[in-house]
Amino acid sequence: EPILETQDLTFTYPDGTRALKNINMSINKGEKVAVMGANGAGKSTLFSHFNGLSQPTSGIVKINGEEMKYDKKSLLKIRQKVGVVFQNPDDQLFAPTVQEDVAFGPMNLGLDLNEVDKRVEKSLKMVGMEGFEEKPPHHLSGGQQKRVSIAGIIAMDPELMIIDEPTAGLDPQGVDQVLTILNHLNEKGMTLLVSSHNVELITEFANKIFIVHDGEIINEGSTNDVFSNH
Ligand code: ADP
Ligand code: ADP
């Protein structure tokens, strides 16, 4: 059953750059999916459509079979279902402390403070960052910042988590930690969509791959299909 689909999704930036051209993709519940492609291929632009941050120039995006709408109320609902972790932690971590940062999403969902606190505690534990509540995010290492960003999304309890370059800039230990977290979340039922440059990592992690080139999907399939099909 698809959790996310696009139909002829096309997106042109105001300066005329055609970043996405007729993207048709479908992701089923429970899958671990990767989008691969060179810098500038369109991965970030694509992901920005999946939580309604960007609106297609033409074509549609469907979440759980329902066409995405862009009014405030619909967007709030979408962000409960779809969480996006941006590549650059600076785009995500802006609160003075880790605690406040992770609390930001669930607060925005309008949850009561008790529930917010519970979720923050649980999420930080899940990513191995308990004890860092009072630290300013900018004093953490890259790997720790990535894990706090992920905790902020976990705290919103989305059905689908999208992560732009989950392991970029991390040392091997950081890569292992993040992948362990992602696999754990997937085992608990969360659908995952990541972008990556790292073929080795993707072969190990994803069960489905889309290759994006110049705004188009040029190949897709299981990891084996895609990497033996040259
Ligand atoms: P990524 O790490 O996803 O490849 P980029 O380096 O392509 O990201 O882009 C970094 C930032 O610069 C993004 O916010 C993107 O929207 C913006 N950007 C990229 N290319 C352009 C461009 N040609 N004109 C304006 N902004 C751009
Ligand atoms: P990727 O994430 O795969 O690196 P992007 O989605 O960032 O690719 O970029 C896709 C294309 O859109 C590139 O040609 C990039 O230069 C362009 N682009 C990205 N952001 C902007 C922007 N804000 N304005 C104009 N062009 C952009």
Q: pLDDT of 8-17, one tens digit each?
A: 999 999 999 9
Q: Are 155 and 105 in contact (CB under 8 A)?
A: yes
Q: Which protein residue has the closest C-alpha to ligand 2 atom 20? A: 45
- What pLDDT, on a 0 to 100 scale, did the predictor assign at position 213? 97
Q: Is 228 in the pocket of ligand 2 (CB under 6 A)?
A: no
| Ligand 1 center to 88 CA (angstroms) | 11
Alpha-carbon torsion, ordered 81, 87, 89, 91, to 10 deg: -70
Spell out, as residue ranges, where the chain has pLDDT lower than 70. Answer: 229-230
ipTM of the complex: 0.76
Residue 66 tokens read as: 């329902």
What one-character-per-residue DSSP string does 14-82 give? Answer: TTS-EEEEEEEEEEETT-EEEEE--TTSSHHHHHHTTTTSS--SEEEEEETTEE---SHHHHHHHHHHE
- What pLDDT, on a 0 to 100 scale, did the predictor assign at position 199? 84
Mutual angle of helices 142-154 and 113-126, in 10-degree steps:
140
Q: pTM for this structure?
A: 0.87
